[in-house]
Amino acid sequence: MLNIDAMPKAELHLHLEGAPRWSTLRSAHYKHYSVELPETPPWHASGFRFADFSAFQRLFKQYIHPWLQTPNGYAELIHDVVDGLLAQNIRYAEVVCVPSLLAMHGASPDYFWAVLAAEVERARLQNCIIRIFVGLIRTHSVEAAIQVVKQTRTRSLVAGYDLLGNEIGYPADAFRPAFELAREAGKRLKIHAGEMMGPESIEYAVETLGIEQIGHGTSAIQNADVVALLRERQVTVEMCPTSNERLRNVGSYQAHPILALDDAGVHVTVNSDDPTFFGVNLNGELTRLVTERQATALDLKRWTQNALRRAILDESTRHQLIAELEAWCPN
């Protein structure tokens, strides 16, 4: 039996607002609103599927937003997300936040960034490196994305930007002005692509926009040329199997293309996306891949190495983390 708990891990695709542990969210709702939430929500059940992406998004408004509107909501949520990373022995994480929602929740940007900086430092002191990405929401308009980049690009805590949300009707090309501002500031860029649309969405992001890190990318398997493009450009693909299963982006967990893309030489990685609502954190996702897709220790090591090679690290730290991974699985 693999000791996944002891494995030094890396996660490249984790949404801050979708990552607190359910038990903590339950406690927060009871503390702030005297609302008793179920110990296990229905969407954590095996075999659960969301009706559509909108049904999934509504859970944030119902459960996360009320928490963030309390005086210490952001601090409580961020603290718990960091605790969750530490508990899983995640040594490197790229966490996407959405500061454009701060005004909606009545939280000041200075408060938010100060809390986030303190928690990132707390994680660092416990051997977990966190890089913060700012989410640009497709449905919030190009102008809103440009404004978010202008407001955040001078913050040293911001490592990069990630284009999020429903691909359908919101092409990545429209966001070029925001991407250019981010690149001018030396920030890394990544895009959710090929999750709800076909492989053309991935091809455009890589070929035309020069993106080297793709979120989800499940539809790549539908086009051999796109698979070859990902392999030849050494694009890192942040795969989230349980998320894709529950949002109906793949037919089933067994049909998820992570193994096929890996076999084709694509640099795939394993991630949990929004564990609060998909019910599986990174440890759980790796366990599912072992038990349901017969992934081996060598597979887990290779996928984690892919993440560490893309990670924003100095070379000494990168070498150290890869060496720790090698010690966990030396063969």
3 found inside a domain:
no
Indicate which CATH number applies to the domain containing 240. 3.20.20.140
Query: Is the pLDDT at 72 greater than 80, yes or no?
Result: yes
Would residue 201 count as lying in a domain? yes
The answer as to whether 4 is a domain residue is: no
Of 283, 278, 272, 328, nearest to 305 by C-alpha is 328
Please indicate, yes or no, if residue 254 is contained in any of the structural domains. yes
Residue 262 lies in a domain: yes
Report yes or no on 318 lying in a domain. yes
> Sheet containing 129-137: which strands, arranged edge to edge?
9-15, 90-97, 129-137, 158-164, 188-193, 213-216, 236-239, 267-270
Average of per-residue pLDDT across 51-57: 95
How far apart CA 108 and CA 99 sit, in angstroms, is 10
Structurally, the chain folds into a number of domains equal to 1
State whether the Cα torsion 97-272-233-299 is positive or negative.
Answer: positive
Q: What is the pLDDT of residues 167-184, one digit of tens each?
A: 888 889 999 999 999 999
Range of the domain at 203: 9-328
Residues 80-131: pLDDT tens digits? 999 999 999 999 999 999 999 998 899 999 999 999 999 999 999 999 999 9
Give a yes or no: residue 323 inside a domain: yes
pLDDT tens by residue, 184-225: 999 999 999 999 999 999 999 999 999 999 999 999 999 999
The pTM for the full model equals 0.97
**Predicted confidence (pLDDT) per residue in 34-50, tens digit:** 999 999 999 999 999 99
Instruction: Please check whether residue 227 lies inside any domain of the structure.
Output: yes
Tens digits of per-residue pLDDT, 147-165? 999 999 999 999 999 999 9
E-assigned strand segments in the chain: 9-15, 90-97, 129-137, 158-164, 188-193, 213-216, 236-239, 267-270
Residue 1 has pLDDT above 90, yes or no: no
